[in-house]
Chains A and B, each alone.
Chain A
């Protein structure tokens, strides 16, 4: 006699209680505070804010804690919260030229106005595990420059003044700014929507695609024109007042990639741009984004589309890790109804196959199947 498996609700509740316990870990060890996560795992928080497309370090820290450190799960938590928030409008374009830079480097000039500023970087650290970090030893206070309030000129503006680099692509100012959270994707995709999609795309996916362009799959001869990290004001236009007001500050990483370009039927020889802009300190992501952005401009610049990184539908339809993880992981949901349909078909086709094959009667076939 057969009894169907029941009690899904109880099983789910039990699983979630176990999850909560596993997340907390050893109860004798103090629980993590959000300040600890936001303050000491700040790059994880920045990544979650960027791919979650919500600038809120405390909520991102909460998401990381709740997700047991699974950053894609944390991104998902933040997105699912973000989507419930009302949309009041959009900000004015942020002025990264007015950024209070904490890090600013250019690979194309030895020195330049504003200087090279290394900032808090892993670059040139020797990757040796530091046993002292296992404890909580006091640190030397870092030396900080005073804020002069001066604008730090962008490398792209230096090149632009001489006409060596293309102008920023002109955008139709009368067209409303795209919002990929409010409109479904449509191809070909405009630049604003493409950059938004890349900005919240998965770091690993974009990194691999960017790498592929360096290895010859749509090589773009890139130079890191400039990378800058720091805080900028966010301004919102208030129609009733007739001017923009600052509503807060966000930390951003901007990467301007400068790419060699021999010219085409559509454009004269000049350097072209690949652009990356991400919430928080996320240099790897911003660099990868700028290489992908440049690769995706292929048709705009009259280049042949020969590589995956140039394929707009391929890149932009698959770079979102919340979508990707959901659909890949949905394979663990029950599919037994469809599998039954396939079982039935395979059995019938096998029976016919063995009926056709000499020396193998359908009965033999069935017997062999059962023995397998």
Chain B
């Protein structure tokens, strides 16, 4: 078993299959994806592999993308809504290298969008697949740490604990104090974790035109929401679900009704709010929309070339 460190060994290290994963692994993941689509919101266990990036850094999403991607796909990768965050850059480069596919930052041009923590502002269209990176797929995990127990709860459709938790929030804080990874019910059956997207994005999951796939590598689960599927955020009659509202528009493109990042400008309390979705912001500016703090020159595009 002790193989000498030969030339062949080193050469083998450099040769990987299309989209990195071997075909047997892809088949296993593809079978899990099909089951996930057939049972919307149910977490399908799959034999997640070690990936060349750490667990917790998108290995589930990367495995799902690797299993579905083809030579003609156009891939977009975002983290925090941005195409230029380091981990998004890294994952995009991984697929550009291992699959040789075209990449884009333009939401409408992508056939596969892998995301961490956001859903693009531009509505998705039929034929697109949104792949979520999921850290903890089990919505009940923080109420019950045991897999054996949570599995039973899903089997029996016993979600009382989740409602109790949300109601305790209301009793203590006067509102549901969950701002992201806000649990949803899919097609009236499974309670599902939408991944740590802000609850602002939850309504975008409902009756989406796109197929939504979720990959949790470390926890070894895949789940799915087909297009045109009911995805309802849990709430109470007297405390209906509501999303975040920002008091001011994006300082760069003037957009309203979008999710904004707070950017600290100085140490004197100066701050501004800008679109978290960088592509949405850039395309609005290209169309001539201007926010309060955008200068006269389109400096941002020049900077991007550096």
> A: which residues have CB within 8 A of B?
1-12, 34, 55-59, 61-62, 76, 79-84, 86-87, 181-188, 234, 247-250, 313, 317, 322-323, 325-330, 333-338, 340-345, 349, 352, 370
- Report B-chain residues with C-beta under 8 Å of the C-beta of A2: 251-252, 263, 265, 272, 274, 293-294
CB-defined contacts of A340 to chain B, threshold 8 Å: 198, 259-262, 276
Partner of B1 from the list A55, A185, A343 (CB cut-off 8 Å) is: A55
A167 to chain B, nearest CB (A): 28
Q: CB-CB < 8 A to A82: which residues of B? A: 50
Query: What are 10 A-B pairs at a CB distance below 8 A?
Result: A7-B84, A8-B85, A11-B86, A58-B9, A83-B25, A327-B135, A327-B218, A328-B56, A330-B54, A337-B259
Main secondary structure of the interface of B (DSSP, over half): loop
Kindly identify, within residues 118 to 139 of chain B, every residue whose CB is under 8 Å from any CB belonging to chain A.
118, 135
Are the C-beta atoms of B179 and A58 separated by less than 8 Å?
A: no
- Apart from A337-B117, A338-B180, list 18 A-B contacts with CB within 8 A: A3-B303, A4-B84, A58-B3, A59-B9, A83-B25, A184-B48, A322-B54, A327-B55, A329-B54, A333-B57, A333-B79, A333-B86, A334-B80, A337-B118, A337-B180, A337-B198, A337-B261, A338-B196
Contact of B160 with A by CB under 8 A: no
Count class of interface residues, chain B: 35 or more
Majority secondary structure of chain A interface residues (helix, strand, loop or mixed): helix
Query: Across the interface, do B303 and A338 meet the contact criterion of CB distance under 8 Å?
Result: no
Contact of B218 among A80, A234, A323, A343 (CB under 8 A): A323
Cβ–Cβ contact A250 & B118, under 8 A: no
With the chains together, A27 CA to B145 CA distance in Å? 50
CA distance A331 to B5 in the complex (A): 36
Footprint of A on B, CB under 8 Å? 1-5, 9, 13, 16-17, 20, 22, 24-25, 45-52, 54-57, 59, 79-81, 84-90, 93, 116-118, 135, 145-148, 173-174, 177, 179-181, 196-200, 218, 220-221, 244, 251-252, 259-263, 265, 269, 272, 274, 276, 278, 293-295, 299-300, 303-304, 306
Q: Which of B16, B55, B118 contacts A326 (CB 8 A)?
A: B55
In the complex, chain B residues whose CB is within 8 Å of the CB of A57:
2
| Shortest distance between the CB of B297 and any CB in chain A (Å) | 9
Q: Are B22 and A84 in contact (CB under 8 A)?
A: yes
The answer to whether B56 touches A6, judged by C-beta atoms less than 8 angstroms apart, is no
Cα A325 to Cα B53 with chains together (Å): 12
A184 to B221, CA, bound (A): 9
Contacts known (A2-B272, A185-B220, A234-B1); A344 close to B306, Cβ less than 8 A: no
